[in-house]
Structure 1
Amino acid sequence: MSGSATKRVTAADVARSLGLSRATVGFVLNETPGQTIPAATRDRVLAEAKRLGYRANTAARALASGRSRIILLVLPDWPLDYSMRTHLDEASLALDEAGYSLVTMTPHPGGHAQPLWATLRPDVVIGMAPFTTEQLAEIRGSGVDQIIPSVAAGEEGSVGDLGFADGPRLQVEHLLARGRRRLVFAASADPRIADLVTQRRDLASRTLTTISGASFVVESVVTEDNAASEIRRWIDHGVDGVVAYNDDIAAITLGAALRAGIAIPQQLAIVGHDDTPLARLIVPSLSTVRVDNAGLGRYLAELALSAATGAAPPLAGPETDANLVVRETT
């Protein structure tokens, strides 16, 4: 094989080129706190490092400083839908502006990959859902001190999943205000989000019972394959309003209803959840619920930064108020 590997430029090379001590150059390149390096010297070191093509050895820097400037976000095995992507994009941007990198991982049941908290040595590990007792023990055993949430699921002081608003309540209230009385909750069949589906369905059901004393007319899980038959079943039971788990389920329902010749919204009103681009673009456009997923991402970043730097945590949680967006399907 011809050619040879390019030699990595080190801090020693930068020091030799400038005629400075290795310690001085190391203090500048490693951003060592508590050092009084003149601004002119710091500028010379950074300029020469750039000219020579120096790249920091992040592993060595982490060992020297005790900080990796990595935030590890542990995701449940959920699909990366529009709302989740918005959330992650905003969190990543906020952390990047503060000089931190956001890394995500999804533990899978029966998986054999080594957890990233053991290999990356992140400054903070944060979970979108509470950790199990076993996970917390593993994370702490890997040397990570800052964990959010720090209490295992089901234990005293534990918290629920981060950032869920009361959109299902608005969905039900809106349909009742439109004069719809026989409602169905259209659930997703995806087993990965079964807990989320149950949370939204339960809140919608409680709202319906509290306001009208009624219950959902039928239980229904909607897929592309069964949507037509489910809608026929709904119509047979007199259903006139649909609370959809999200906009994808609402769109599947809408398409099947239109193909069956059902008038929307006169015969069947539909409300989605998440206000995805699909909700605006589909014809007729979907009434839906908008949640501030970007705000939730910024809040998550603030939590992580407060744990990483010792700064005061954010004074309040994310904006959890959901907003109803009324369009053509209601």
Structure 2
Amino acid sequence: MVQIPNSAAPATPQPRSVPTSADVARLAGVSRATVSYVLNNTSAVRISEPTRRRVHEAAKELGYVPHAAARSLRAGHSRLVLMPAPSVPIGPLYSRFINELQWALSRLDYTVVQYASVGLRGDEAARAWAELRPAAVLVPVGGIGPEGVAVLKRSGARAVVTLGTERIEGAHSLLVDHAGVGRVAGAHLYARGRRRIGVVVPEEPGLKVFSKPRLDGVRSAVEGTDASVTVLPLAYEEESAARLAARWPELGLDAVFAFNDEYAMLLMRALQDAGVSVPDDTALVGADDLVLGRLLRPSLSTVHIELPAGRDLAELVDRAVRNPGAAPETHHVHEATLVHRDSS
């Protein structure tokens, strides 16, 4: 029998040891306590700027990252803020707000994690979020009910903040007055002499929570007048907009509130392609005041919504985490103003 000699197996590289705070302390020439104070942004202890710089440089050189779980044990709670991904498209305005909020939370030494809870809703979603033991959860529109809030709090969440159109029991709330957005648009169109007003209602799933109060707001703005309101279902597709524009002569509308700027831009293009002049034949108003709307021709009239600064909401989260027994706060966003441009 022929024996085949074993070939020398390649040497397996030994795993590198994970750097510790003690390693950082030795390299920086400080105590481990000082490393902890510096890297955890502890404000109760005064440390000179040169020392802070040495600690940060040593940590960077060694590739040291503070252990989140250990820090949570010291604090008695995690520094994790969970932001479940919304189940509905939230648009550029809210995306910008969420980005600012995440930045502000990170400045307060929280770790922000986005959770893609596809297929999970309500209390089931709350139980999935609770498994991560976050210090706080920021819940998008329609994502949770009172029982879900209770599930999160029983799991140790110190703050639950909802972003939406109605207050949820037990949670801090940021409420946007979408009916007010519709009222502002409807009042503007009526003041411009328009009497046959269409209101776009998106067909996309999940947007009814926004579109219904905006429709109700337009109706309330012209209630008791000689104006009429026509509901215009519209999918966010060129084909859907083209079909709606083809029906324009039979609809007989002289104005339209298009839900938001994105739907307004979609519909404007379709109306112009169908030979409908904006604003001569039909005045058009969007909402959210996106930059692109200013660049259209005609430039787009819109409803500007003044959302709170992300920093303010981050401070609300921080207050709630530090004082979990405090009564839930409710903040209303009422500042909706009409920006009049060429389309109306």
TM-score, normalising length: structure 2: 0.78
Question: Please, what is the CA RMSD of the aligned residues?
Answer: 3.7
Q: Is the 1:180–1:241 Cα contact (8 Å) retained in structure 2? A: yes
Please state if 1:94 is matched with 2:104. yes
Q: Is the 2:145–2:168 Cα contact (8 Å) retained in structure 1? A: no
Percent sequence identity over aligned pairs: 34
Cα deviation for residue 46 of structure 1 reads: 5.7
Please state if 1:6 is matched with 2:20. no
Cα deviation for residue 252 of structure 1 reads: 1.6
Please state if 1:103 is matched with 2:130. no
Q: Are the structure 2 counterparts of residues 281 and 117 from structure 1 closer, same or farther at C-alpha, using a change threshold of 3 Å?
A: farther
Residues of 2 paired with 1:159 and 1:18: CA distance?
43
Cα deviation for residue 102 of structure 1 reads: 3.0
Cα deviation for residue 124 of structure 1 reads: 1.6
Q: Are the structure 2 counterparts of residues 213 and 66 from structure 1 closer, same or farther at C-alpha, using a change threshold of 3 Å?
A: farther
Any residues of structure 2 matched to 1:305-320 within 5 Å, and which?
305-310=318-323, 317=331, 320=334
2:299 maps to a residue whose letter is S
1:243 maps to a residue whose letter is F
Cα deviation for residue 307 of structure 1 reads: 1.0
Cα deviation for residue 25 of structure 1 reads: 5.5
TM-score, normalising length: structure 1: 0.81
Q: Are the structure 2 counterparts of residues 25 and 249 from structure 1 closer, same or farther at C-alpha, using a change threshold of 3 Å?
A: closer
Q: Which runs of 5+ in 2 are unaligned?
A: 1-9
Cα deviation for residue 329 of structure 1 reads: 1.0
Q: Are the structure 2 counterparts of residues 177 and 9 from structure 1 closer, same or farther at C-alpha, using a change threshold of 3 Å?
A: same
Residues of 1 paired with 2:202 and 2:269: CA distance?
16
Q: Is the 1:32–1:65 Cα contact (8 Å) retained in structure 2? A: no
Q: For 1:146, which of 150, 159, 183 is the aligned residue?
A: 159
Which segment is superposed worse, 269-278 or 159-168? 159-168
Q: Are the structure 2 counterparts of residues 95 and 314 from structure 1 closer, same or farther at C-alpha, using a change threshold of 3 Å?
A: farther
Residues of 2 paired with 1:17 and 1:11: CA distance?
10
Q: Are the structure 2 counterparts of residues 159 and 230 from structure 1 closer, same or farther at C-alpha, using a change threshold of 3 Å?
A: farther
* Counterpart residue number, 1:297: 310
Q: Is the 2:21–2:32 Cα contact (8 Å) retained in structure 1? A: yes
- Tell me the number of residue pairs that the alignment of Structure 1 and Structure 2 aligns: 324
* Counterpart residue number, 2:233: 221
Q: Are the structure 2 counterparts of residues 310 and 84 from structure 1 closer, same or farther at C-alpha, using a change threshold of 3 Å?
A: same
Q: Which runs of 5+ in 1 are unaligned?
A: none
Q: For 1:277, which of 291, 294, 315 is the aligned residue?
A: 291
Residues of 1 paired with 2:44 and 2:171: CA distance?
38
1:124 maps to a residue whose letter is A
Please state if 1:254 is matched with 2:268. yes
Q: Is the 1:291–1:323 Cα contact (8 Å) retained in structure 2? A: yes
Q: Deviations over 1:184-235 (max 9, x none)?
A: 101211112121111211111121215x25441x321123223233234343
Residues of 2 paired with 1:160 and 1:13: CA distance?
44
Please state if 1:201 is matched with 2:215. yes
Q: Is the 1:222–1:253 Cα contact (8 Å) retained in structure 2? A: no
Cα deviation for residue 276 of structure 1 reads: 1.2
* Counterpart residue number, 1:133: 146
Residues of 1 paired with 2:226 and 2:275: CA distance?
31
Q: Is the 2:84–2:140 Cα contact (8 Å) retained in structure 1? A: yes
Q: Is the 2:173–2:331 Cα contact (8 Å) retained in structure 1? A: no
Q: Is the 1:299–1:314 Cα contact (8 Å) retained in structure 2? A: no
SS in 1 for 2:175: coil
| Higher share of residues assigned strand | 2
* Counterpart residue number, 1:85: 95
